[in-house]
Each structure stands twice: as structure tokens, then as C-alpha cells.
Amino acid sequence: MTPVELLDCAEMSRADQIAIAGGVPGMTLMENAGAAVADAAARFAAPGSAVAIVCGPGNNGGDGFVAARLLRERGYALRVGLLGDRAALKGDAAEAARRWGGETVPVADLSLDGVQLIIDALFGAGLARDLDGAARALVERVNAWSRASGHPVVAVDVPSGVDGDTGAVRGVAIEARATVTFFRFKPGHLLLPGKTLCGEPELADIGIPAAALATIAPKTFANAPDLWRAALPTLRADGHKFSRGHALAISGGPWSTGAVRLSARGALRAGAGLVTLGSPRAAHAINAAHLTAVMIAPCDGPDDLTGLLADKRFNAVVMGPGLGVNDNTTDLVAAALRSGGPDRALVLDADALTVHAGRVGTLAARVRASGMTVVVTPHEGEFARLFQVEGSKLERARRAAETLGATVLLKGPDTVVAHPDGRASIAFDPPPWLATAGSGDVLAGIICGLLAQGMPPFEAASAGVWMHGAAARAFGRGLIAEDLPEQLPGVWRGLLA
């Protein structure tokens, strides 16, 4: 997804103001927006088709009036409904309605019989309250029409009822086939459930100068290679395996070793020069039987781990997958953090997080005292047990990162990576078949392998999420976790081409 910057509603409003202050009339922005909507509509319905446009009382409705005029000029049969009183329209929206000049009916009286496309121009991304009354009834009617007829709805900015900042549904929301937004995407286009309601998102240039971003300085991004490509590790002609980092993955007991082997394989395929698996002696034979390129070292508890980490060449550690929810795991995490310093990174996943349920303050104090680079990778259940924070997924991840003093990766179809400095990325294209047992263990390993090669934590976590999804896309449906590391060489080739 290019460009990668995401703007929340306040930032987008500021971008409009910057453009207008710089000499771009507001009406020009609206005309350009309406033209982009008309172009999108033309891809779904041929000239001569009946198109209904539902307009709201603000600038989103103004975009709809512009689209109506332009589509009429192209030979479409337009029906325009307005929520509210036409005489109450103000500013550019009122001018757009005047230029339309055609019939406008109350939305309750708008006939959808024979219509082949609806354009939703009711409300934009900055909706401040839940839809109710006539607005709710209209949204429900449009959705019922689309489901029954199979014909599409094209939304302007966001589907009406979707919060542009959070992706949340404000009571009820339009189910769009496509959504046309302007200048930059918003978090709500990528976060669930807004992501599924937008259909195919489309970005239109309406004349806002890109230089406005320097003033706005956004901190939220779509997780795409342009965000972190410059931080990818590079291979030098005079390099060797130790210059590419030595990752250490900590195994649980003999009944739960598979998860950490997935992490170890992920770290190796991500590019770590060496990977060692710290294994309890009771699980040594099981792990040894399954590993070749990954080495094994004895690690029964925190004393063994402290001894291993006395070797400073171990510069990245991953622990948690299959480790066990017990005091030994708590002690292993504490030992890893005591071994810390700025030249060592730690990835905590799964059981290494669950053992700290209700004790996030203890974990945060140890993280901050360690001086280490720390990345935590919870799914929603683990996150809820560890952090007691509310809000959107983006807000919760940011607050957790600030609380912990670590990079937080909150997993899901819309995975969010948040850094304590406020930066955040949102995944937008992981395939649904990535939801399979062991997938998260591989992800933790990939991130560990990137950290071992010196990538900064926010970039390593974001790149790891993207590479994880790219590996799944490359394999296709039927994927199991063991397949993911083996797809990474092809992912690397694509990134470095």
C-alpha cells in the first residue's frame, strides 16, 4: 500500500486546512473528490444505468452532489436523496448542491427500484455519534437492497457509520463494495470491522500537497515495505555468520517442543547467522531428532540461561512458545532481562506473557531496568490477560507499548505494531489462511531473526508481520505453520529485487 502514511480525522482536517491556506480553494478539493467518486462509480455501472446517491448534510454530501452532476453529464440516470433540509446546507456543500441543480428528494422518499448502483455520501470519517432515526433506517435499507439485488454500493471517504479513526461501527454501517477516500487512508480503513465494510479501498489525489505531511507529522502507517525497507539488514562481502547475529530460542519440556522449533526455524530463515535452541535436558533427544541447522544447548532453568547469555554473541532471544505457564517461565524471563543491555534484544510471546497476567507492572519494571530492546507479540487473549486498557485496537496497542516500555505487536487480521514513541503500523493484507496453529510462533522467530541482524524493534516487528503474511500468500490455502519459514527465501527475493 502506497503511500504508507495514515491520517486520523483530525489530521485529515488539518491537511484540508493546509491546502486551502496554501491557495487551493475548498470547492476545488470537493470537485476533485466528486470526480474521483464518479470515476469509481463508472467502473461498476455502464452509462445509462440508474444510479442513486444518498447525500448527507455536510461536505461528504457535497462530494455526492458533485458526483451526481458529473455522472448525469456522462449519461447516467441519477436519483439524489438528501438527509435533512437542502436549505440548511452550508459552504461548499451548498454550492455543490446548487451546481447539481437537479431534483433532490428526502432520503425516505428515494426509490431504489431498478437502481444498479448506490453511492453512499451520507457521513464521512469524522462521525461523532451512533447513527439513529432516519439515518439508521436509510443505512439498513441500502444494505438490504444491496444484499437482495447483488448490486454494489460505493462509499465516499468511509462507509457511513464507520469511525475513520478506529474502524468501529457507530450503531450500523454501510456494507460497501468499494470506498473512495482522499489524500491518505485512515486507520479505520485498515482496522476491523471497518476494513471488511470498506470493500476495495481506493485512494484519490484531490490536490492536497504532499508537503502537508511534514507539518502534520503522522505517526500511524500502513504496514508496507516502504515503511521499513531502508532498515532491512544488508549482507556484506566480508561478512560472516556471527556478523549476522546469533539468536537463542528457549524450549519448554518434552511435551511441548514443537512451537519453539517453529520459532527457531523462522529466525534462521529470516537471516540470523546462527540459531541455538536452549533445551531442557529431558527434551534434548526430541529436539535433536528434529533439528539440523539449529544447534542445541542445555537450558533447564534460569541459572543455565544466565550461563548461556554470558556469551554476548547471543544478541537476540525468543521465548514463550511452548515454554509452559509456570514459575520456571517467570524466572527464565527475569533471567533473560537481567542479562540485558542495549546490544541484546528479547522477543516475548505466548507463555512468557501469560505468566505475567495481572503483573504487568512487574514485567514493565524489569523491561525498563534491563536496557534491552524488547518486543512482545500477544494475540487478543494474551493481551487482555496482561493489559487492562480500553479503546480501539490502535489505542490499546499504543497504551500498552507506553506502559511496558517495549514494542507491542497485537496480532490479528489487522495486526498493530506500536512503539513507545507513538509510532504504529497496521497490517492490511494478511491472508485468512494465516490463522493456523503455530503461525504466531513462526512470527516471533522471524522478528527475533531480524533483531539479531540489527534491525530496530519497530521496523523489525513491522517487517516481520509483513514477511509473515507474504510467506502465507506465496504458499496459498492449505498452509500449515511449517510451510512459512520455507517461503521466506522467495519473500526476500521479492523485497530485494
Domain residue limits, the chain: 5-218, 225-496
Q: Name which CATH class applies to 225-496.
A: alpha beta
pLDDT digits (tens, 9 = 90+) for 138-173: 999 999 999 999 999 999 999 999 999 999 999 999
- The CATH number for 5-218, chosen from 3.40.50.300, 3.40.50.800, 3.40.50.620, 3.40.50.10260, is 3.40.50.10260
pLDDT over threshold 90, residue 220: yes
pLDDT digits (tens, 9 = 90+) for 439-480: 999 999 999 999 999 999 999 999 999 999 999 999 999 999
What's the pLDDT score for residue 340?
Answer: 82
pLDDT over threshold 90, residue 206: yes
pLDDT over threshold 80, residue 423: yes
- The answer to whether the beta carbons of residues 444 and 263 sit under 8 Å apart is yes
pLDDT over threshold 90, residue 130: yes
The whole-number average pLDDT for the span 78-88 is 96
pLDDT digits (tens, 9 = 90+) for 283-333: 999 999 999 999 999 999 999 999 999 999 999 999 999 999 999 999 999
Q: What is the pTM of this model?
A: 0.96
What's the pLDDT score for residue 42?
Answer: 97
The whole-number average pLDDT for the span 81-110 is 96
What's the pLDDT score for residue 241?
Answer: 84
User: Would the CA dihedral through 102, 107, 113, 118 be positive or negative?
Assistant: positive
The pLDDT confidence band at residue 238, using thresholds 50, 70 and 90, is confident
What's the pLDDT score for residue 2?
Answer: 77
| Proportion of the chain above pLDDT 70, given as a percent | 100
What's the pLDDT score for residue 473?
Answer: 97
5-218 and 225-496 have identical folds:
no
